[in-house]
Amino acid sequence: MLPHEIIRRKRDGKPLSTEEIAAFVAGISSGKVSEGQVAAFAMAVFFNGMSRDEAVALTLAMRDSGDTLDWSDLPGPVTDKHSTGGVGDNVSLMLAPIVAACGAYVPMISGRGLGHTGGTLDKMDAIPGYVSQPDNALFRKTVLAAGCAIIGQTAALAPADKRFYAIRDVTATVESVPLITASILSKKLAAGLQSLVLDVKVGNGAFMAKSRDATELAKSLVEVANGAGTRTSALITGMNEPLASAAGNAVEVLNAIDFLAGRRRDRRLFEVTMALAAEMLIAAGIAGSNREGMARATDALDSGRAAEAFATMVATLGGPADFMDRPLAYLPKAPFEHAVAAGENGHVTGIETRDIGLAVVALGGGRTKPDDVIDHAVGITGLLPVGAEAVKGEPLAIVHARTRSAAETAAREIRAAYTIGRTRPSVQKAVVRRIAPGV
């Protein structure tokens, strides 16, 4: 099949067959399809969209462009979660061990930070000795020992997506729902999952700021994943403020340790984590209802089994054996701390969440280009949530920085991101909507 004829058909709004899509993706992998042809195909999809069947075919072709993992020998269900990204979103660090402690296996292949959002893999790299990109033998050993493993994608998983995304990134075709869907799911389904739960963020700190866009993406992901044979549902969750009270890498790891140990659990973070846990347990067939899933997840957390699973995962992947007990002895610490004082009395009525994420990037906790080196120590803690009382002169947050000037610059950005008003706002739901197959 000639690539330019496939492009022509999509350009003219005609449906593509499974064979045509598979041939084009094979050409992306082999290099037989040029960058110009990939860009033309992406633009044709951008303007004309794809049917569900086309999106399923694209997802499966990209999944099958490289290795696929097989967990059929495990004595329990294999499940995972994917988030579209947010600020202070360290959910995976608690969620994977909670679900593992309930009897599921969670081989969680995660990504690095993108734009203003933090990356789960960057957080795990803050733990000394932790091997975030192990070979398959160590990956399997960890999943068997702990029930979960949070690692990074290898080049052998869905390699067609890597080339396709790089070209989309420079041709203004990233914002296409079917292409986003295929990109996300091809990597996740290559991990050999039996079920998947999606956390689609919406709000001023999310890539999808509008509810209708987040809903469209969530529905596409759920329809295509189920069409590809993987039981999948989605939760749309709010990102109009940071999810945790910490944003950064080491500071979010410490926040997760405190959560697992029961020392501190931020309200919205707790709601989202437990809702996703219940959803994963239902998808995995361990729980028959949301109430049962919540009960099982709560027991795994409060009994300490989830903390034990996290500790085993860290130790098996090369981290300190006593990390759960002594995190401050191992996590990097920034030399400067700077309190961001509120300028007036009142209540927090709004937060420009994206600006909080960008402040972390500017501190060195994120990337402005792919080869940037992350400073895992920097970040922000003590972020007051929307609705909290603000007292003039008291902290809205604490900046952890490499230099005094960087801390002062970040403090100005954070102060500007907060809106203080006289009236306490109503509390927004952390979990906005559930998207099930066929909805």
| Annotation marks residue 400 as catalytic | no
381 is known as an active-site residue = no
pLDDT at 48: 96
Considering the domain architecture, whether residues 213 and 107 belong to the same structural domain is answered as yes
Active-site choice (29, 84, 183, 220): 183
- The one catalytic residue among 10, 112, 162, 187: 187
Q: Which of 10, 112, 116, 168 is catalytic?
A: 168
Q: What does pTM read for this prediction?
A: 0.93
120 is catalytic: yes
Residues 57 and 114 in one domain: no
User: How many domains are contained in the chain?
Assistant: 3
220 catalytic per annotation: no
Regarding whether 371 and 267 lie in a shared domain, the answer is: no
Same domain, 204 and 119: yes
Are 83 and 214 found together in one domain? yes
Q: Which of 29, 79, 92, 120 is catalytic?
A: 120
Three-state SS for the chain is CCHHHHHHHHHCCCCCCHHHHHHHHHHHHHCCCCHHHHHHHHHHHHHHCCCHHHHHHHHHHHHCCCCCCCCCCCCCCEEEEEECCCCCCCHHHHHHHHHHCCCCEEEEEECCCECCECCHHHHHCCCCCCCCCCCHHHHHHHHHHHCEEEEECCCCCCHHHHHHHHHHHCCCCCCCHHHHHHHHHHHHHCCCCCEEEEEEEECCCCCCCCHHHHHHHHHHHHHHHHHCCCEEEEEEEECCCCCCCCEECHHHHHHHHHHHHCCCCCHHHHHHHHHHHHHHHHHCCCCCCHHHHHHHHHHHHHCCHHHHHHHHHHHHCCCCCCCCCCHHHCCCCCCEEEEEEECCCEEEEEECHHHHHHHHHHHHHCCCCCCCCCCCCCEEECCCCCCCEECECCEEEEEEECCHHHHHHHHHHHHHHEEEECCCCCCCCCEEEEECCCC
**Annotation says 188 is catalytic:** yes
pLDDT of residue 208: 86
Do residues 207 and 352 share a domain?
Answer: no
Q: Give the CATH number of the domain where residue 381 resides.
A: 3.90.1170.30
Residue 73 lies in a domain: no
- Set 10, 29, 63, 80: catalytic member: 80
The answer to whether residue 436 is domain-embedded is no
What is the domain-level CATH number for residue 16? 1.20.970.10
The answer to whether residue 429 is domain-embedded is no
- Is 81 assigned a catalytic role? yes
The pLDDT value given to residue 10 = 96
Write down the pLDDT at residue 370: 66
Q: Among residues 79, 83, 230, 233, which one is catalytic?
A: 83
Catalytic option among 81, 112, 265, 268: 81
Classify residue 70: in a domain, yes or no.
no
Kindly state whether residues 202 and 283 are assigned to the same domain: yes
Query: Is 187 tagged catalytic?
Result: yes
pLDDT given for residue 269 in this prediction: 97
**Active-site residue (options: 63, 82, 268, 354):** 82
In this structure, the answer to whether residues 408 and 301 fall within a common structural domain is no
Q: Which domain holds residue 39?
A: 3-63
Mean pLDDT by groups of 10 residues along the chain of 439 residues: 91 96 94 94 95 96 93 95 92 98 95 75 95 93 97 84 84 87 92 95 90 94 95 96 97 98 97 98 96 98 98 98 97 97 96 95 84 90 97 97 97 97 92 87
* Residue 11 sits in the same domain as residue 154: no
Does residue 103 sit in the same domain as residue 204?
Answer: yes
Query: Which pLDDT belongs to residue 409?
Result: 97
Q: What is the pLDDT of residue 439?
A: 60
